[in-house]
């Protein structure tokens, strides 16, 4: 059966490599990608075709009405900025191989890639990336615009603040709270709470930078 006969449609904002993964997930789930937008349509991934100008060129002319959108941009701060301008409905993209507990909640605009696991009573916010093979255990709270990278493992009762990036293969032990807009380096072992705007790396994790506001 042709999946496109389901008549589900979505639009993608962003035309880099990250958007290719989202496009594939949506297509496998029976969506027709009607439009792709980017703020630099002449400088996009080679596999992106027919890319239209994004909203930065002219906010008023951007077609806010229409099929739901996924902001397919990997940089958390840029995803948040664009979400602040768009006045669209949003779609989710969840790979068919992801395992998601029926008691968990997934916010609008969020993407969950192949092999990811989200356990019971977890709340994942809006416009979050749960990347390939990431493991989010029970009773987690993942803030809006966060990114849980491939193979990262979050144990039970972990909190990840808005816009924070948990790097590839990082491990967060139970009941740890990571603040907002933090960066957890690849392979880092997080053993205690992390303040807002902090960069943490190593095993055990050590603070190497805290952004001053």
Catalytic residues: 138
166 CB neighbour count, 10 Å cutoff: 30
CB 125 within 8 A of CB 162: yes
Query: CA 126 to CA 41: how far, in whole Å?
Result: 25
Closest CA to 110 of 92, 90, 88: 92
What does the DSSP 8-state code read for residue 90?
Answer: B
- Looking up tokens 């602040």 gives 84
Residue 10 half-sphere exposure toward CB, CA atoms < 13 A: 26
Sign of the torsion formed by the C-alpha atoms of 108, 150, 41 and 29: negative
Cα angle: 64, vertex 17, 73; to 5 degrees? 40
Residue with tokens 């630099």: 40
CA-closest candidate to residue 103, choices 116, 121, 118: 121
């Amino acid at each position: 059966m042709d999946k496109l006969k389901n008549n589900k449609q979505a639009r993608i904002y962003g035309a880099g490599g990250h958007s290719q993964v989202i496009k594939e997930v949506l297509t496998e789930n029976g969506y027709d990608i009607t439009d792709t937008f980017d703020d630099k349509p002449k400088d996009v991934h080679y596999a992106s075709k027919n890319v239209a100008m994004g909203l930065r060129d002219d906010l008023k002319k951007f077609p806010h009405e229409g099929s739901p959108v996924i902001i397919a941009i990997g940089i958390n701060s840029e995803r948040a900025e664009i979400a602040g301008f768009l006045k669209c409905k949003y779609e989710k993209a969840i790979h068919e191989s992801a395992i998601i507990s029926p008691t968990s909640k997934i916010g609008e605009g969020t993407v969950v890639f192949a092999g990811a696991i989200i356990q019971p009573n977890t709340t994942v916010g809006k416009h979050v990336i749960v990347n390939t093979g990431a493991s989010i255990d029970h009773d987690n709270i993942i803030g809006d615009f966060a990114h849980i990278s491939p193979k990262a493992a979050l144990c039970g009762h972990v909190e990840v603040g808005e816009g924070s990036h948990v790097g590839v293969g990082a491990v967060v032990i139970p009941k740890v709270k990571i603040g907002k807009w933090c960066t957890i380096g690849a392979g880092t072992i997080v053993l205690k709470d992390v303040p807002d705007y902090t960069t943490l790396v190593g095993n055990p994790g050590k603070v190497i930078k805290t952004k001053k506001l």
